[in-house]
């Protein structure tokens, strides 16, 4: 692609007419497809295959264990054993539906909270004097230099009954009894919002920073109040950043396992945890794979919506 871009149009026509460079172009275009094939489609097919298998006591603990070396025989055995019983199983116990719904709820609320906190931060950064911006951007990225796990662990120390937060609030006299935040849904929200905030701030900042200030000046000249100017100009123009940020937070938050496991209580069920239990406690790789496939399908829907939105944005800006 890059080669095509730097060549002038006339050269490009010449090049495409010669067969050798045509192959070169195709190869270049193929690279992202090959990438997707190896790192997305192949793992997906493997998980799909396991989700259609049965549990056995062996290594690996599922059957049929179709591998290429068995050739058609192996494929035939696989087809003969084909059934969707692992998927049917998921519909028979409300645990799975509840886990999916609970995950969606927690991810949605967390995303909205992250947006509510991230937008003002990104806005302030974009409005800050130019010489400060690089430093501010650095400050947003800085937490990534520490392990995600350690940062989540640190919240235990802050939120627990004898933690910093309770000490501080008791000391100031705001509360008389220590707050029980750790091991509740509130702790999960705090953990997710904290961990994913940079993913919300960065795309928002990228959009807001490029915003044409002359539009706002024009609005002010025409008698628009700053608040109204924000509503009719800044916000609509930053929507692509809002979408990008929301999906960068929402999608990983749905499948989140570490944060609810460390900060959440045992009464919170999320799909990541349910998947863990299937895989480790029940040793049921096929059902665990079926849960994962359904989760993936569930997340593809918002991604498609996001793509549509992006296309619309692109068309509108042309």
Residue ranges in contact with other proteins by CB under 8 A:
55, 57-61, 93-95, 98, 149, 161-162, 183, 257-258, 261-262, 265-269, 274, 276-277, 279-284
Residue closer to other proteins by CB (options 110, 284) is 284
Contact partners, residue 70, CB within 8 Å, separation at least 6:
77
CB of 192 to other proteins, least distance (A): 16
Task: Return the C-alpha torsion angle 47, 51, 57, 61, nearest 10.
Answer: 0
Question: Which residue's structure tokens are 């940062």?
Answer: 151
Residue closer to other proteins by CB (options 248, 284) is 284
Distance CA 317, CA 305 (A): 18
Residue closer to other proteins by CB (options 61, 302) is 61
CB of 282 to other proteins, least distance (A): 5
Residue closer to other proteins by CB (options 204, 270) is 270
Residue closer to other proteins by CB (options 269, 293) is 269
Q: What is the DSSP string of 151-181?
A: HHHHHHHHHSTTSHHHHHHHHHTS-SS----
Asked whether the beta carbons of 81 and 64 are under 8 A apart, the reply is yes
Residue closer to other proteins by CB (options 62, 247) is 62
Q: Which of 276, 317, 251 is nearest to 114 (CA)?
A: 251
CB of 58 to other proteins, least distance (A): 5
Distance CA 54, CA 68 (A): 19
Contact partners, residue 126, CB within 8 Å, separation at least 6:
133, 205, 208, 209, 211
Residue 93, helix vs strand vs coil: coil
Residue closer to other proteins by CB (options 4, 55) is 55
Asked whether the beta carbons of 262 and 16 are under 8 A apart, the reply is no
CB of 12 to other proteins, least distance (A): 42
Enter the tokens of residue 98: 């509840």
CB of 55 to other proteins, least distance (A): 5
CB of 295 to other proteins, least distance (A): 16
CB of 177 to other proteins, least distance (A): 12
> DSSP code of 184?
S
């Amino acid at each position: 692609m890059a080669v095509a871009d730097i060549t002038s149009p006339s050269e490009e026509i010449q090049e495409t007419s010669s067969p050798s460079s045509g192959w070169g172009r195709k190869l270049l275009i193929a690279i992202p497809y090959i990438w997707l094939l190896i790192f997305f489609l192949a793992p997906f097919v493997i998980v799909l295959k396991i989700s259609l298998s049965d549990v056995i006591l062996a290594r690996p603990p599922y059957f049929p264990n179709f591998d290429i070396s068995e050739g058609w025989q192996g494929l035939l055995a696989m087809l003969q054993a084909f059934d969707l019983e692992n998927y049917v199983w998921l519909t028979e116990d409300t645990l799975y539906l509840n886990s999916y719904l609970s995950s969606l709820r927690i991810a949605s609320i967390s995303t909205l909270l992250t947006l509510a906190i991230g937008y003002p931060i990104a806005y302030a950064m974009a409005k800050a004097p130019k010489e400060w911006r690089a430093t501010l951007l650095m400050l947003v990225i800085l937490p990534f230099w520490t392990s995600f796990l350690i940062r989540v662990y640190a919240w235990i120390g802050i939120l627990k009954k004898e933690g910093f937060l309770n000490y501080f609030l008791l000391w100031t006299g705001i509360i008389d009894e220590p707050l029980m935040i750790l091991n509740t849904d509130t702790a999960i929200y705090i953990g997710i919002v904290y961990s994913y905030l940079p993913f919300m701030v960065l795309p928002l900042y990228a959009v807001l920073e490029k915003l044409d200030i002359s539009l706002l000046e024009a609005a002010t000249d025409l008698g628009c109040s700053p608040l109204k100017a924000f509503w009719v100009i800044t916000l609509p123009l930053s929507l692509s950043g809002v979408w990008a940020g929301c999906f960068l937070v929402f999608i990983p938050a749905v499948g989140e396992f570490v944060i609810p496991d460390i900060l959440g209580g045992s009464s919170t069920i999320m799909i990541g945890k349910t998947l863990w239990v299937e895989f480790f406690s029940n040793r049921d790789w096929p059902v665990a794979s079926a849960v994962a496939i359904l989760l993936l399908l569930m997340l593809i829907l918002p991604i498609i919506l996001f793509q549509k939105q992006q296309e619309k944005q692109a068309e509108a800006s042309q």
